[in-house]
Amino acid sequence: MGAKTSREPLSRERTLAAAIALADTAGLKALTMRRLAADLGVEAMSLYYHLPGKEGLLDGLVETVINEINVEVKLAETTEDWRTGLRRRFLAAREIMLRHPWAPGLLSSRKTIPFGVYAYYDAIVGTLISGGFSHQVAHRALHAFGSLALGFAQEVFSPASAGGDTDVDAAEEDLSAMAEALPHLTAMMAAEAHDAADPTLGWCDSQVEFEFTIDLLLDGIARARG
């Protein structure tokens, strides 16, 4: 956050690293050319020497994140069956995404998709094919996985994605006010809070739900393999 007083000239990598750090700590909205430059101890216009503008910066961000995932995935490559291989892959992607909460929203709002994303999905198809799937079922599996393959789901209930203050208090206030108008949701929350054996987890632990959904999808396509 403070101005790094470094003598070495700016570079694309150093700029991207600072941008990611800024987005991680202050959210995507805080990532402006002027503030990023200030963090780097430089004027805003200097950035244009290393990057082709704001859009190019954002492209660089998603490229960096998907590369992080691909590296992580490649490191752990072994001789697993298709199912545990995909499962491990999705969970690895999720770990990266949890480190960069702004990444899912940015990735899905981008209109050009970096090569690394295609490479990532290509490896998935390869895994499916060698697991005995037809191209057609592999195609449908890809769509069924959707963003879960990249480690994130559209969490409509509590979107911390969009960067900015996570307005938890307001959400809970709303929720308690809504309670009597929403009988089924209220009952569900009460029931879940009750038989939650593990006290360290919230009433809605998304890691458990994430893995449940993955297994449900993997079960489903295993059956569709035919």
Partner DNA sequence: ACCTGAACACCGTTCAAGT
Binding site for DNA (CB under 7 A): 9-10, 31-35, 37, 42-46, 48-50, 53-55
> Is the Cβ–Cβ distance between 101 and 163 less than 8 Å?
yes
Provide φ and ψ at 42, rounded to 5°.
Answer: -150, 170
Instruction: Determine if 226 is a binding residue for a copy of itself (CB under 8 A).
Output: no
CB of 23 to DNA, least distance (A): 12
Give which of 206, 5, 225, 215 is closest to 104, Cα–Cα: 206
CB of 124 to a copy of itself, least distance (A): 8
CB of 118 to DNA, least distance (A): 25
In whole angstroms, what is the distance from residue 120 CA to residue 139 CA?
Answer: 14
CB of 4 to a copy of itself, least distance (A): 30
In whole angstroms, what is the distance from residue 83 CA to residue 4 CA?
Answer: 46
Instruction: Look at residue 35 and give the partner it binds from DNA, a copy of itself, none, a contact being a CB closer than 5 to 8 Å depending on partner kind.
Output: DNA
Nearer to a copy of itself, 42 or 150 (CB): 150
198-218 b/e (C-beta count within 10 Å ≥ 16 → b): eeeeeeeebeeebeeebeebb
Instruction: Look at residue 50 and give the partner it binds from DNA, a copy of itself, none, a contact being a CB closer than 5 to 8 Å depending on partner kind.
Output: DNA
Instruction: Determine if 210 is a binding residue for a copy of itself (CB under 8 A).
Output: yes
Instruction: Determine if 184 is a binding residue for a copy of itself (CB under 8 A).
Output: yes
In whole angstroms, what is the distance from residue 88 CA to residue 84 CA?
Answer: 6
Contacts of 88 (CB under 8 A, 6+ apart): 76, 80
Instruction: Look at residue 55 and give the partner it binds from a copy of itself, DNA, none, a contact being a CB closer than 5 to 8 Å depending on partner kind.
Output: DNA
> Is the Cβ–Cβ distance between 15 and 36 less than 8 Å?
yes
CB of 42 to DNA, least distance (A): 4
Name which of residues 71 to 110 contact a copy of itself (CB under 8 A): 104-105, 107-110
**Token reading at 47:** 């950035």
In the chain, what is the straight-line distance between the N-terminal and C-terminal CA atoms, in Å? 54
CB of 31 to DNA, least distance (A): 7
Site string for a copy of itself, 114-153 (x = CB under 8 A): -x-xxx-xxx-xx--x----xxx-xxx--xx-xx--x-xx
Instruction: Look at residue 95 and give the partner it binds from a copy of itself, DNA, none, a contact being a CB closer than 5 to 8 Å depending on partner kind.
Output: none
Strands (E), the chain: none
